[in-house]
Structure 1
Amino acid sequence: MDSLKERKLYDVTAPNASTGIINGESSNVLNWDDTRFSWAYPLYKNMLANFWTPFEINMSTDIKQYEKLEAHEQEAFNKIIGLLAFLDSIQTDYSMHVARYLTDSSLSALMTVLSFQEVVHNQSYSYVLSSVTSKQKQDEIFEYWKHDPVLRERNDFIAQGYEAFVKNPTPQTFLESIVYDVILEGLNFYSGFSFFYNMARNQKLVSTSTMINYINRDEQLHVHLFANIFKALLKEHPELNTEKNHRFVQETFKKAAELEINWAHYLFKEPIEGINLNDLEAYIKFMANKRVNELGIERPFEGYRKNPMRWIKIYEDVNSGKTDFFEQKSRQYTKVGTDNGFDDL
């Protein structure tokens, strides 16, 4: 299959609105009132409206509470932060590689915003750790991804999918890398998110959970962006819209769900009050079904159409005008969508 062509710096012979999502023509001059995809500008506005920095979050209570956590709770906290730090680090780089090959300048701009948000996410993990642990412990946590075998297995699964695209950028490897991206942003975080949301409902680590909520809000938009790119790619390149690629999506998500479930059992081998592993397994499969459905592909797991951890919805709910459940004061959230769809598929 033909290689992907990098977007030109500028092209005086091409239109501003691109002729294709990849390998098309574009002047590379961005005019938000002259773009090919009607969803690009609204998504850009939503991403901007999400802007936040970790410095907004007061960690003073979490500092005191972290020291009083049970040993296995501290270990789960540390390993989840170590996982998130790795994933958001490579996500920053991956999204910049993607931007090089997206012909449409509006989509390249969205990738730039996404990359910036991933940098903020990654810095937020340093901010949290520098608040609650020593510099020596922080450095140790940022090394987990190299040495922890369970963490390494699930991280390598994503990284190898990305590397295949980076080393050999074709429409096929690009499509496959999007599947790994949606797994990273739409599935791999969710065991960790559930831990912090569960802590918050027990009035522990509320500030860290607030930060996780902001990250969760961003990641929902990132999944929406890549799902739109995936569907546009299949529409413009019907040779990619094959039964084989549909099976690839389903089987890759099945493997990702298996790794996520293994990770959950590893994280919570000593029970965490409020987290039922059977429910968490079902939740992971529910989220896998949700993400595959958002890509326009038949869901990989029979059943799993209902969220088995319905309590988590209030912690993920980012609709505007809601009272902040964390601090019980007014906080204006941007509305990601009319229905985030976390209860039903």
Structure 2
Amino acid sequence: MTIPVSPRTIMNKTAPNRATAIVNGTCSNILNWDDVRFKWAYPKYKKMLGNFWTPFEINMSQDKKQFPELTKTEQEAFLKIIGLLALLDSIQTDYAGKVADYLTDSSLSALMIILAQQEVIHNHSYSYVLSSLVQKEKQDEVFEFWRTEPILEVRNDFITNGYRDFTEKPTVENLLKSIVYDVILEGLFFYSGFAFFYYLARNQKMVATSTMINYINRDEQIHVDLFVKIFKEVLNENPEANTQELADFVQQTFVKAAELEIDWARYIIGDKVDGILISDLEAYIKFYANVRCNQLGFERPFEGYRTNPLRWIKAYEEVDLGKSDFFEQKSRQYTKVNTIDNGFDEL
């Protein structure tokens, strides 16, 4: 038995302002933050607003100097990972908007729109990084990698097919499954790429790019938490959807996702980058697959893998960018650069 999901109406004069349910509920669609259903919605809204940033805040001039000094392997990995992240965040922008259309809780649909806006900023940051480092012809090539790299095609189809099932057949079951794919995209598929940029920063390379990646990482952690909350609330409101079939699906999907991420890590990093052991990176991916699956409320798919094998990375993943610079250990005082010269007058 499936439970169809109806789209939210633009306005409902007979419904209360406070939603009666996340999906298939009634709501006037008038948003009053002092009268919302979930106590965690407004704090989440404030947190997302407080984390607002733009790529223009980060001066790329030092990275511009350093990029030609990277090894060819590092340069290739850098550009291909940027290309992958750009594709994933493009998908995510669209998905968040489509989910918002079916959330009958106006506070949660508003959070989806903020999330989508942050994904647009993430995409802009990738363009900003590339325009800072390489010529236009190379930029265009990077944004075409998703068409020409077979290993990326498999990963991308894995996510987009999961999203498409919900957009083409909106049911409670397909919404829940699509959220699983979302948590994989934002909480697992980025992470070997993030690790590469943090590795560079650890070696005092491409620090500005890695700082921007950390802003993105911080946003994605909030997005994962938001979708996990929505997932659990939807299950609470629709207990008939909380089946063994769903539990099996979640575990099997995380196993497949980890396999795909490990294949990507072997391809893009492998044993080609000194300082990153592929065995540690594979364990790191399985560790995060366990973390995310458990966050959703299900058994961890991989036995063991309860601790992060890349302990050094915690300094980059958990930093409070609003207080200190984790690369230089001093107050962060970015000068917003001119959008035309991108700070290159300081080269």
- TM-score in terms of structure 1 length: 0.94
- Give 1:83-232 correspondences, 5 Å limit: 83-232=84-233
Counterparts of 2:332 and 2:51, CA distance in 1: 12
SS in 2 for 1:187: helix
Residue 10 in structure 1 maps to residue 11 in structure 2: yes
SS in 1 for 2:264: helix
Asked if structure 2 preserves the Cα contact closer than 8 Å seen for 1:213 and 1:316, the reply is yes
Displacement of 1:271 in angstroms is 2.0
Counterparts of 2:204 and 2:243, CA distance in 1: 49
Q: Relative to structure 2, which stretch is displaced further, 168-177 or 265-274? A: 265-274
Counterparts of 2:22 and 2:319, CA distance in 1: 30
Asked if structure 2 preserves the Cα contact closer than 8 Å seen for 1:59 and 1:207, the reply is yes
SS in 1 for 2:147: helix
Displacement of 1:182 in angstroms is 0.2
Asked if structure 1 preserves the Cα contact closer than 8 Å seen for 2:89 and 2:120, the reply is yes
Displacement of 1:269 in angstroms is 3.4
**2:252 equivalent in structure 1:** 251
Residue 19 in structure 1 maps to residue 20 in structure 2: yes
**1:266 equivalent in structure 2:** 267
Counterparts of 1:270 and 1:11, CA distance in 2: 58
User: 1:192-218: CA deviations, max 9, x gaps?
Assistant: 000000000000000000000000000
Asked if structure 1 preserves the Cα contact closer than 8 Å seen for 2:85 and 2:190, the reply is yes
Residue 31 in structure 1 maps to residue 48 in structure 2: no
Counterparts of 2:87 and 2:31, CA distance in 1: 32
Q: Relative to structure 2, which stretch is displaced further, 269-278 or 198-207? A: 269-278
Asked if structure 1 preserves the Cα contact closer than 8 Å seen for 2:319 and 2:326, the reply is no
Letter of the aligned partner of 2:294 in structure 1? Answer: N
Letter of the aligned partner of 1:44 in structure 2? Answer: Y
SS in 1 for 2:159: helix
Asked if structure 2 preserves the Cα contact closer than 8 Å seen for 1:6 and 1:101, the reply is yes
Displacement of 1:274 in angstroms is 1.6
Q: Which aligned runs of 4 or more in structure 1 are off by greater than 2 angstroms?
A: 318-323, 326-329
**2:242 equivalent in structure 1:** 241
Letter of the aligned partner of 2:276 in structure 1? Answer: I
Structure 1 residues not aligned, in runs of 5+: 333-345
SS in 1 for 2:189: coil
Letter of the aligned partner of 1:39 in structure 2? Answer: W
Asked if structure 2 preserves the Cα contact closer than 8 Å seen for 1:234 and 1:241, the reply is yes
Displacement of 1:103 in angstroms is 0.6
Displacement of 1:323 in angstroms is 2.5
Counterparts of 1:319 and 1:209, CA distance in 2: 14
Counterparts of 2:214 and 2:26, CA distance in 1: 39
Counterparts of 2:275 and 2:49, CA distance in 1: 35
Counterparts of 1:60 and 1:227, CA distance in 2: 38
**1:335 equivalent in structure 2:** none
- Give 1:307-322 correspondences, 5 Å limit: 307-319=308-320, 322=323
Asked if structure 2 preserves the Cα contact closer than 8 Å seen for 1:187 and 1:284, the reply is yes
Asked if structure 2 preserves the Cα contact closer than 8 Å seen for 1:21 and 1:103, the reply is yes
Counterparts of 2:126 and 2:77, CA distance in 1: 14
User: 1:39-63: CA deviations, max 9, x gaps?
Assistant: 1010111000000000011111111
- TM-score in terms of structure 2 length: 0.94
Displacement of 1:105 in angstroms is 0.2
**1:330 equivalent in structure 2:** 331
Displacement of 1:76 in angstroms is 0.3
Identity percentage of aligned residues? 66
SS in 1 for 2:4: coil
Counterparts of 1:183 and 1:320, CA distance in 2: 24
Compared CA separation, residues 98 and 321, structure 1 to 2 (3 A): closer
Displacement of 1:2 in angstroms is 3.7
Letter of the aligned partner of 2:263 in structure 1? Answer: N
Asked if structure 2 preserves the Cα contact closer than 8 Å seen for 1:10 and 1:29, the reply is yes
Counterparts of 1:104 and 1:17, CA distance in 2: 7
Counterparts of 2:172 and 2:316, CA distance in 1: 37
**1:77 equivalent in structure 2:** 78
Structure 2 residues not aligned, in runs of 5+: 334-347
**1:338 equivalent in structure 2:** none
Asked if structure 2 preserves the Cα contact closer than 8 Å seen for 1:72 and 1:270, the reply is no
**2:343 equivalent in structure 1:** none
**1:343 equivalent in structure 2:** none
User: 1:317-341: CA deviations, max 9, x gaps?
Assistant: 2337643122443149xxxxxxxxx
Letter of the aligned partner of 2:116 in structure 1? Answer: S
Displacement of 1:270 in angstroms is 4.6
**2:46 equivalent in structure 1:** 45
Displacement of 1:141 in angstroms is 0.3
Counterparts of 1:318 and 1:155, CA distance in 2: 30
**2:344 equivalent in structure 1:** none
Asked if structure 1 preserves the Cα contact closer than 8 Å seen for 2:271 and 2:278, the reply is no
Counterparts of 1:331 and 1:307, CA distance in 2: 28
Counterparts of 2:197 and 2:4, CA distance in 1: 42
Compared CA separation, residues 316 and 39, structure 1 to 2 (3 A): same
Report the RMSD for the aligned CA atoms in angstroms.
Answer: 1.2
Q: Relative to structure 2, which stretch is displaced further, 317-326 or 228-237? A: 317-326
